[in-house]
Amino acid sequence: MRLNPRAPKINPHSGNFNTGTSTVNTPTLTITQDIVLNITVSQNARYLAFDEWVVSPDANQTSVAATPTSQSLSVVNNATVASRPIIGLFDNGSNFGGVTNNDGLLQFSDTTVANGTSFTIKAGSYTFASSVNFNPALNGTTFTGNVFLVAPAGTRLSDFTTVPEPSAALLSLLGAGFLLLRRKR
C-alpha cells in the first residue's frame, strides 16, 4: 500500500543504507511535518530518538555520517530559529539513559534546551553515507511512532511526541468528507 506523500510521517529511508542505492543514490531521511517537542529537563540536546524504531536490533550499533557534511537541521528553540549541523544517523541505540537497543537516533550538534519550553524540528530531507553494517531491517521503512529529545548521556529531555500515522490522518479526513457530503443531501 502506498502512503499519501502529503500525510505527516518520518520516512527514514528512500534508499538502502547498506549499499547506498536509491532513486537519488544516497539514503535519505525525510521529516515531512514539523515535530514539536515539549521540554521537561534543562540540558544540552544531542539526539532525536525514534522510539522503538527497530523491531529486531542487530548486534552492532552503526552510524552513517551526513553526506554532505554541511547539512543542518532547522529548529525553533524556545521561539528562536536556529540551524544545528547534522552529524549522523544511528540504526539502533545502545541502552544508555532513556535510550534502548530498539531506538534509532538522529545526531546533531548540541543545543541547550530549557524546561517548560518547546523545541521544534522543521520538516526537511537529509542524506547520509551508506554502510554494510547498517541494520538491513530498516531499509525501506516508514516510521510513525514516538520521538523524543536526548542529552549526550542518554537523559530524555522531552515528552514523547507521536508522529501521526498517515493512514489514520487520511481516514479521519475521508470520514469528515463523508459527513459533510451526507449533510448536504
Write out pLDDT tens, residues 30-81: 888 889 999 999 999 999 998 888 877 777 788 888 888 889 999 999 899 9
Gap between the Cα atoms of 142 and 124, Å rounded? 15
Q: How many CB atoms lie within 10 A of CB 177?
A: 10
Q: Is-contact 63 114, C-beta < 8 A?
A: no
- Give me the pLDDT at residue 45, please: 96
Would you state the cell numbers that stand for residue 5, as one nine-digit string? 506523500
Query: Backbone phi, then psi, for 167, in 5-degree steps?
Result: -65, -35
For the stretch 90-133, pLDDT in tens is 887 678 888 988 888 999 999 999 999 999 999 888 888 888 78
For the stretch 2-32, pLDDT in tens is 333 333 344 554 445 555 554 434 677 888 8
**Amino acid letter, residue 78:** N
